[in-house]
Structure 1
Amino acid sequence: MIDLNADLGEGFGRWTLTDDAALLSVVTSANVACGFHAGDPSTMRRVCALAAERGVRIGAQVSYRDLAGFGRRAMDVPPDELADEIAYQIGALQVFAQAAGAKVGYVKPHGALYNRTVHDEEQAAAVVRGVRLALPGTPSPVLGLPGSRLHEAARRAGLPVVAEAFGDRAYTPEGTLLSRREPGAVVHDPDAVVRRSVGIARDGLLAAHTGERIRLRARSLCLHGDTPGAADLARRVRTALRAAGVRVEAFA
């Protein structure tokens, strides 16, 4: 059993990047950009409305304040300021989710923040404080890399964690994502993405970029929405998962 999530709403104004309507017919969880790396109020509202209509869980994809760099540039943000910015983004999305008759069901960092919170305990704790500030009294799941400092901080704060894996990203032998600055960091071959996705979901195994086999226990599989042909690839992945005996449904 596995959840399929995708990054959605990654546009701004007249600029669009993700085929939200098509992807929302495939995925079970939607990571909605909250305005700091992409997204704007109207896009957030539309994605929330469509996700609610199709029964797709809505998640806040929070980021460093880096619209020009799509949230993929390393930044040093003071922990208290970062916590406030995380809460701000979640709160903005919650308004539109509630207007659609739904709610923000989980939180996932994006880009540089995602990678930073794998190892940086201080930044990870700040993200978790922001989640608790925006969603007090709600045990909101935190989606992230297994074994990350983010998951450790979330557990200490009493928040559930959801282990995530990527079928279209290369991994190091240590089980972390290969930096996008390295050759081969993104897997572009659709057949390879499908094979890797099935391997993760069914067997919990994947080949690192060095060729070594690593174990990846994931409850959610990310399909990047900004990949060319992302919707068609997502359909192929979902079809292959079913054929392999894997049930696709949102995490509890």
Structure 2
Amino acid sequence: MSGAAVDLNADLGEGFGVWTLGDDDAMLEIVTSANVACGFHAGDPAGLARVCRAAAARGVRIGAQVSYRDLAGFGRRFIDATPEDLTADVMYQIGALSALAEAAGSAVSYVKPHGALYNSIVTNRDQARAVAAAVHAVDPGLPVLGLSGSVFFAEAAELGLRTVAEAFADRAYQPDGQLVSRREPGAVLHDVEQIADRVISMVTAGNVTAIDGSTIDISVNSVCVHGDSPGAVQIATAVRDRLTAEGVALAPFS
């Protein structure tokens, strides 16, 4: 696989006030792209500004991690938002993080939906179209990170947005390629070696074992390691080390 390259991303800036979540500084030493919260599911302005400055100092790309307006539920609850509301909410979040990123000497260089919104727009065409329309309205040059084969990617492509296929290092997959719900047992993986093995299979062979034991094809330009999972830094380090050992370079996709 010498010569291959992949992006490594993590969700960061998800603390709020006196509550911290994950080790953003440690993760920024490992990843090449940071999906930074925008205040709707997590993150307060001062904390987000700090993450943007830290990412800029390390040359890590900043992405806007947009969400439903759901602080209490951490953005993991479906909200039946109207397309008008959802489009405006996403535009608002990108704009807020863009100001903080630019003040830090960087910029928002892509958009990734979070949590329930991410999962909803795999199949919910109205919401997928609303999110794609928001990104296009703010900046048609912004790539979007998401699940390959989703209706979100179809709607984004129709508007001329660049789509970047993402795979999850520490999440189980259903046989149809969607993620196993966090409400189900086995949805989140914790075994470091197993996770590293899965990432190598995704990146070098283009497949992964689903929760039922079947092998499914998977497209991946960027691998997500969750910054809020127990042992997140250890997992991210193991994934990075294994990719490097296999001759895969770590580099941002944009």
Sort the TM-score into its range (normalised by shorter chain): over 0.9
Question: What's the CA shift for 1:224?
Answer: 0.2
The residue aligned with 2:10 is 6
Is 1:116 the counterpart of 2:120 in the alignment? yes
* 8 Å contact from structure 1 (residues 88, 134) kept in 2: no
Alignment-mate amino acid for residue 139 of structure 1: G
Is 1:94 the counterpart of 2:90 in the alignment? no
Counterpart Cα distance in 2 of 1:174 and 1:245: 30
The residue aligned with 1:66 is 70
Give deviations 1:98-125, integer Å, cap 9, x for gaps: 0111110000000000000000110001
1:192-231 equivalence runs, <5 A:
192-231=194-233
Question: What's the CA shift for 1:88?
Answer: 0.5
Structure 2 residue runs of 5 or longer lacking an equivalent are none
* 8 Å contact from structure 2 (residues 192, 234) kept in 1: no
Count of aligned positions: 250
Structure 1 residue runs of 5 or longer lacking an equivalent are none
Question: What's the CA shift for 1:229?
Answer: 1.9
Counterpart Cα distance in 1 of 2:51 and 2:26: 11
Is 1:49 the counterpart of 2:53 in the alignment? yes
Counterpart Cα distance in 2 of 1:52 and 1:18: 19
CA RMSD of aligned residues (A): 0.8
The residue aligned with 2:134 is 130
* 8 Å contact from structure 1 (residues 37, 69) kept in 2: yes
* 8 Å contact from structure 2 (residues 55, 62) kept in 1: yes
Counterpart Cα distance in 2 of 1:58 and 1:191: 28
* 8 Å contact from structure 1 (residues 5, 28) kept in 2: yes
Instruction: State TM-score, norm by structure 2.
Output: 0.97
* 8 Å contact from structure 2 (residues 28, 55) kept in 1: yes
Question: What's the CA shift for 1:204?
Answer: 1.1
Is 1:164 the counterpart of 2:166 in the alignment? yes
**Which SS does the other structure have where 1:2 is aligned?**
strand
**Which SS does the other structure have where 1:58 is aligned?**
strand
Instruction: State TM-score, norm by structure 1.
Output: 0.97
Is 1:20 the counterpart of 2:49 in the alignment? no
Aligned residues with identical type, % of pairs: 56
Q: Which moved more, 1:241-250 or 1:59-68?
A: 241-250
Counterpart Cα distance in 2 of 1:77 and 1:22: 35
Question: What's the CA shift for 1:134?
Answer: 2.6
Among residues 72, 77, 80, which one is paired with 1:76 in the alignment?
Answer: 80
Among residues 182, 185, 207, which one is paired with 1:183 in the alignment?
Answer: 185
Counterpart Cα distance in 1 of 2:64 and 2:165: 16
Counterpart Cα distance in 2 of 1:91 and 1:118: 24
